[in-house]
């Protein structure tokens, strides 16, 4: 992308203007074509930074990440994340990600730590410090405190020989990158690398902990994400609300059952109460057109009905319904229907 952006930058101004006509409301000397060039170069530098990070993870940085994972997965206390300036904003985001994926975490501002918040750290905690230079003055007190209290310290920095890099139990040393800023100064590519490395550490901890979608649901009960992760068991109709018809009963009985339960479907059960088929409103219409009104339901049912586990997520239920072009799924217990979930149940909660 950077090569393409550079080639674009070398085009004559009239060629660029032909591709992106000037906006009369903007400075004629710096039009949309120039904006495109700047944007393309900025994105290209970010991509190059991530490519460098991926390459570094195949070497020493990868081994350091594994050591950091072992330290944090064994903590009996919490993970404390800190940083100053732009790195501090990244640290706040990462603290939220760690906490939401099963690692009890909170952010401590380094300046506040120097004014009493060091008391928030306990001996069984661990600390993750983020600083590109590794020489941020505001971090000195919290770093020194971890050394005195023998609290595990992991650093994310671009300077191995910095004060932070030397003090840390594990230094996650980021590769040198070019900032996306034209001046090479504003933290952009470097903060992207910090964020991605921190997210990678969170995923390593999640994987090591065996953190499941159900665990995720318990920590994300609100919003669209919470809705998608609710389980079928949370949403399904139960007991007398589950439409079922005996296989030997007539279609007239199936119509009554389907109408009273208002789900557009009824399950067909055998003498043992096991689900052996399903009849939809479409199946009923076709059967009635063929004169099956007084015939057994078993003659109109679809065999091998679809079902889903009660602990499946709402998202998984919707995907299965969409894939099979059905609007309801039965939940079985040893072959017997104990619940049913419909697409309307899923849409109502915002899946």
Q: Alpha-carbon distance 239 to 236, whole Å? A: 10
What pLDDT is stored for residue 94 in this prediction?
97
pLDDT band at 39; cut points 50, 70, 90: confident
CA-based torsion, 194, 197, 202, 205: positive or negative: negative
| Domain end (from 211, 245, 262) | 211
Residue 223 domain-assigned?
no
Tell me, yes or no, whether 32 and 123 share the same domain: no
Instruction: Assess whether 180 and 237 both reside in one domain.
Output: no
Question: Do 250 and 337 share a domain, yes or no?
Answer: yes
* Statement to judge: residues 94 and 236 lie in one domain: no
Residues 207 and 79 in one domain: yes
Whether 5 shows a pLDDT value over 70: the answer reads no
As a whole number of angstroms, the distance between CA 309 and CA 274 comes to 16
- Tell me which residue of 250, 238, 320 sits closest to 287, measured CA to CA: 250
Read off the pLDDT of residues 280-315 as tens digits, 9 standing for 90 and up.
878 878 877 776 667 788 887 888 888 999 888 888
Check if the beta carbon of residue 6 is closer than 8 Å to that of residue 41.
Answer: yes
- Shared domain check, 194 and 81: yes
Please tell me whether residues 72 and 169 are part of one structural domain: yes
CATH number of the domain to which 154 belongs = 3.40.50.10490
Own/partner pairs, 30-34, CB within 8 angstroms, 24+ separation: 33/8
Last residue of a domain, one of 51, 70, 89: 51
Tokens of 259: 């109408």
The residue assigned the tokens 């195949």 is 58
Residues 67 and 198 in one domain: yes
Out of 211, 246, 265, a domain closes at 211
Highest mean pLDDT pick, 193-197, 210-214, 334-338:
193-197
Give this prediction's pTM: 0.61
Confidence at residue 1, expressed as pLDDT on a 0 to 100 scale: 46
Q: Is residue 108 part of a domain?
A: yes
Mean pLDDT for all residues in the chain: 85
What CATH code is carried by the domain that includes residue 337?
A: 3.10.580.10
Assess if residue 219 is contained within a domain: no
The lowest-confidence range among 16-30, 116-130, 187-201 is 16-30
Share of the chain above pLDDT 90, in %: 48
Half-sphere exposure of 10 (CA within 13 A, CB side): 6
Residue-wise pLDDT for 196-222, tens only, equals 999 999 999 999 888 766 666 565 555
At residue 218, the pLDDT reads: 60
In a domain, 78, yes or no: yes
Residue 347: per-residue pLDDT: 80
For residue 62, the tally of other CB atoms under 10 A from its CB is 13
Residues 16 and 126 in one domain: no
- 242 occurs within a structural domain: yes
Judge whether 24 lies within some domain: yes
Structurally, the chain folds into a number of domains equal to 3
Domain check: are 25 and 144 in the same one? no
Question: Does residue 113 have a pLDDT over 90?
Answer: yes
Residue 222 lies in a domain: no
Which domain, by its residues, includes 28? 2-51
Tell me: do 256 and 330 sit in the same domain: yes
Rounded to an integer, the average pLDDT of 35-55 is 90
197 and 271 assigned to the same domain: no
Q: Alpha-carbon distance 52 to 172, whole Å?
A: 14
In a domain, 283, yes or no: yes
């Amino acid at each position: 992308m950077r090569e393409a952006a550079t080639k674009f930058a070398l085009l004559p101004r009239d060629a660029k203007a032909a591709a992106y006509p000037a906006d009369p409301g903007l400075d004629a000397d710096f039009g949309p074509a120039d904006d495109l060039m700047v944007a393309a170069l900025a994105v290209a530098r970010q991509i190059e930074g991530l490519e460098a990070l991926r390459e570094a993870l195949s070497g020493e940085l990868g081994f350091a990440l594994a050591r950091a994972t072992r330290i944090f997965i064994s903590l009996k206390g919490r993970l404390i994340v800190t940083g100053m300036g732009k790195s501090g904003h990244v640290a706040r985001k990462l603290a939220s990600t760690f906490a939401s994926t099963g690692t009890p975490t909170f952010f401590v501002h380094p300046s506040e730590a120097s004014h009493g918040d060091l008391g928030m750290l306990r001996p069984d905690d661990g600390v993750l410090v983020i600083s590109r230079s590794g020489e941020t003055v505001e971090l000195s007190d919290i770093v020194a405190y971890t050394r005195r209290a023998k609290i595990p310290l992991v650093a994310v920095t671009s300077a191995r020989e910095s004060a932070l890099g030397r003090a840390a139990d594990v230094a996650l040393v980021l590769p040198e990158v070019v900032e996306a800023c034209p001046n090479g100064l504003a933290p952009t590519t470097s903060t992207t690398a910090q964020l991605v490395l921190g997210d990678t550490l969170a995923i390593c901890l999640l994987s090591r902990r065996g953190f499941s979608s159900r665990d995720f649901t318990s920590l994300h009960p609100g919003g669209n994400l919470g809705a998608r992760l609710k389980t079928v068991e949370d949403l399904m109709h139960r007991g007398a609300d589950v439409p079922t018809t005996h296989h030997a009963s007539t279609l007239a009985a199936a119509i009554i059952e389907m109408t009273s339960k208002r789900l557009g479907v009824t399950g067909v059960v055998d003498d043992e109460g096991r689900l052996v088929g399903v009849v939809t409103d479409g199946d009923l219409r076709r059967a009635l057109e063929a004169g099956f009104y007084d015939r057994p339901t078993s003659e109109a049912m679809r065999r091998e009905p679809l079902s889903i586990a009660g602990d499946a997520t709402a998202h998984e239920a919707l995907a299965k319904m969409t894939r099979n072009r059905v609007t309801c799924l039965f939940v079985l217990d040893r072959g017997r229907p104990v619940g049913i979930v419909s697409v309307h149940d899923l849409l109502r909660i915002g899946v």
